[in-house]
Chain A
Amino acid sequence: MSDSSRGKAPSRRQFLSGAAAVGVGAVGAGAARAASPDPLITQEQEWAQTTGEGVDATPYGLPIEFEKDVVRRNVEWLTADTISSINFTPIHALDGTITPQGCAFERHHSGAIELSKADYRLMINGLVDTPLVFTYEDLERFPRENRVYFCECAANTGMEWAGSQLNGAQFTHGMIHNMEYSGVPLRTLLEEAGLKPEGKWVYVEGADASSNGRSIPMEKALDDVLVAFKANGEALRKEHGYPVRLVVPGWEGNMWIKWLRRVEVTDMAIESREETSKYTDTLEDGTSRKWTWVMDAKSVVTSPSPQSPITHGPGPLVITGLAWSGRGAITGVDVSVDGGKNWMPARLAAPGTDKALTRFYLDHNWDGSEMLLQARAKDSTGYVQPSKDQLRDVRGENSIYHNNCIQTWWVKESGEAENVEVS
């Protein structure tokens, strides 16, 4: 089993630079004795003698230059242009559960617009007692909640339906971010306008040219939907809907309307473009599911993975990844190193919480032989993440959206990893 020898593949390049940095002597679990003293210890280093930057150098900081590969990436051939398009969170390089906003994925249909708080207006109209207009300042005066939720694009992993395509967890699973939101329950705003009993749905739309209008049943609107203006402690980023977006816990990312400008109470679904032409899931017989709102339980090993190869040789290895479910909390994750023949329960870094990312670890002693790495999530409803074949048995290969299958990474003896499908 030699490696693919594809010199221009990202995994290969990163593997080589990583291996060079580690150098020889990486064999064995830290037991190897140094042949000569380490000059990084025996010679005084510049940073231990001179001074670093002052506190006035960086009013708002970016990551250190050594981390410049931890960035959003796009895939040019996926869409006709970059305005109505997608990019990907570098989940292969992150840990914990909170996604840094600056590298959290973007999905726009007519670009990331610039909308100031002063220009911002939110309208509530339709089947209400009093249609209302709110300014941004008004919204900040309503009682507020803080909640952590994942936002996963319905199309995450969608390119993988017919087989292994993209080589890296960032590309196969990176249409996701997980933030702590501060905002006002949509319920509060609807009650302020006064709901009429005929109101069964809300139609929500953004201020951008695409509008991204979607219909949400009233039960969900009155449950846990948030009108959010802060994420991870600060204002939303422009590309994530500044100054106000909708947070729709557990439901497909398309419904998380950015630059939210209007909530209309209606007696029926509008059946907009984004819930007919798009975000409908075609089955094998040619019929299509609509209103597939919930994102099912899913997981992925983020390291090792094609962009995060093993560079340290055999011995202790941290296998880690993310699990999440739109139906509730993650209750467990199993990991397999042999392609699903045998499974071991992973350790959750913290108990799973409702509709949010959960970090898992498997502290593994790698013997240096090849592995077929998989993770399988289970949620609080008892749902167990299916294999891709199990999904295809029900849906065929043309659903585009909602691919929550078990992912396999082939980790080779060299430590490189590749996106594969297994029998």
Chain B
Amino acid sequence: AYAGTFGLGRPALPEEIAAWDVDVAPDGTGLPEGSGDVFTGEEVFAEYCAICHGDFAEGVDNWPKLAGGDGTLADKDPLKTVGSYWPYLSTVWDYVNRSMPFGNAQSLEPDDVYAIVAYILYSNDIVDDEFTLSHENFLDVDMPNAEGFIVDDRETAEAHFWTDEPCMSDCKETVEITMRAAVLDVTPEETGTDAE
């Protein structure tokens, strides 16, 4: 019986839910059975991933770097990767499984995904080359930046934006231009604007 009052829609079948509900939560909920080791992962990665992400997950051109950047988060130019930034391994498994390879998503078998994730961990020096990742030891992996996130604290850390009365006149003595976009000159040319 429906809880609602309109009686619209129809019950979803178990096969339908299984096909679409593939997300994996931080506690491992949603992980299918399976496993993959670093060596297998290296092969699969080379075949499906390395063209954009590099042989060592270091990234090619502007494509995302998946490894490196350890300890750079407070630097002027932090390098945010799976190893240096991502808090949960579940996200790696989930995202690779659902949305990679770019342009041919949802083409990987669970064991391939386990192997790729194991290889990404190895590339980030989080596991050694003998490592095998499975649904059973998944939560044992320590992600370096697991404690690196806080919940939005703007209402306390930025409370003064609510409480400070805005100045209306004679707010400062002098005003100097300190930076100019035209000096950088990275704005695209306008095209198609010529009136003629």
Whole-angstrom distance between the Cβ of A94 and the nearest chain B Cβ: 16
A130 and B11 contact, CB distance less than 8 A: yes
Inter-chain contacts of A73 with B (CB < 8 A): 188, 190
> A-facing mask of B39-66, CB < 8 A → 1, else 0?
0000000000000000000000111100
Distance to closest chain A CB from B106 (angstroms)? 7
A284 to B185, CA, bound (A): 27
CB neighbours of A114 from chain B (8 A): none
From B21, B91, B102, A271 is in contact (CB under 8 Å) with: B91
| Contact residues of B: prevailing secondary structure | loop
Q: Are A398 and B94 in contact (CB under 8 A)?
A: no
Tell me if B12 and A133 are in contact (CB < 8 A): yes
Q: State whether the Cβ of B140 lies closer than 8 Å to any Cβ in chain A.
A: no
Minimum C-beta distance from B172 to chain A (A): 6
Question: Given that A209-B106, A262-B21 are known contacts, is A343 also in contact with B179, CB under 8 Å in the complex?
Answer: no
Across-interface contacts of B87 in A (CB, < 8 A): 271, 276
A210 partner residues in chain B, CB cutoff 8 A: 99, 105
Q: A9 with B25: in contact, given A211-B98, A287-B150, A372-B175 (CB under 8 Å)? A: no
Evaluate whether A165 and B186 lie within 8 angstroms (CB atoms) in the complex, with A134-B8, A191-B4 already known: yes
Report the minimum CB–CB distance from A113 to chain B (whole Å). 12
Q: How far is the CA of A188 from the CA of B2 in the complex (A)?
A: 13
Which of B21, B63, B73, B102 sits near A125, CB closer than 8 Å? B21
Using Cβ atoms and an 8 Å threshold, which residues of chain B touch A142?
6, 8
Q: How far is the CB of B97 from chain A (nearest CB, A)?
A: 10
The answer to whether A166 and B181 have CB atoms under 8 Å apart is: yes
Q: How far is the CA of A360 from the CA of B80 in the complex (A)?
A: 39
Total A-B Cβ pairs within 8 A: 289
Interface size band for B: 35 or more
Min CB gap A142→B, angstroms? 6
Using Cβ atoms and an 8 Å threshold, which residues of chain A touch B169?
A: 341-343
Chain B residues in 8 Å Cβ range of A271? 25-26, 87-88, 90-91
Chain B contacts of A100 at CB under 8 A? Answer: none
CB-contacts of A57-86 with B (<8 A): 66, 68-69, 71, 73-77, 79-80, 83-84
Which of B61, B63, B105, B175 has the most chain A CB within a 10 Å cutoff?
B175
Q: From known contacts A8-B189, A193-B4, A376-B166, infer whether A420 and B102 are also in contact, taking CB-CB under 8 Å.
A: no
| Residues of chain A contacted by B103 (CB below 8 angstroms) | 83, 110, 209
**Contact status A191-B175, CB under 8 Å:** no
Q: Is the CB of A131 within 8 A of B168?
A: no
Q: A21-B195, A287-B149, A334-B168 are in contact. Are A386 and B11 (CB under 8 A)?
A: no
User: Cβ of B26: which chain A residues have Cβ within 8 Å of it?
Assistant: 268, 270-271
Minimal beta-carbon separation of A341 from chain B (angstroms): 5
Contact with A along B144-171 (1 / 0, CB 8 A): 0000111111100110011110111111
| 18 A-B pairs whose Cβ atoms sit less than 8 Å apart in the complex | A9-B182, A77-B186, A80-B61, A129-B3, A134-B9, A191-B5, A192-B2, A213-B98, A262-B21, A266-B25, A270-B94, A277-B85, A284-B74, A342-B168, A382-B163, A385-B161, A386-B161, A420-B177
By a beta-carbon cutoff of 8 Å, the part of chain A in contact with chain B is: 4, 6, 8-10, 13-14, 17, 21, 66, 68-69, 71, 73-77, 79-80, 83-84, 109-110, 123-126, 128-135, 138, 141-142, 163-168, 171, 188, 191-195, 203, 205, 209-211, 213, 261-262, 264, 266, 268, 270-273, 276-277, 280, 282, 284-294, 296, 306-307, 334, 338-343, 372, 376, 378, 381-386, 390, 394, 397-398, 410, 418-423
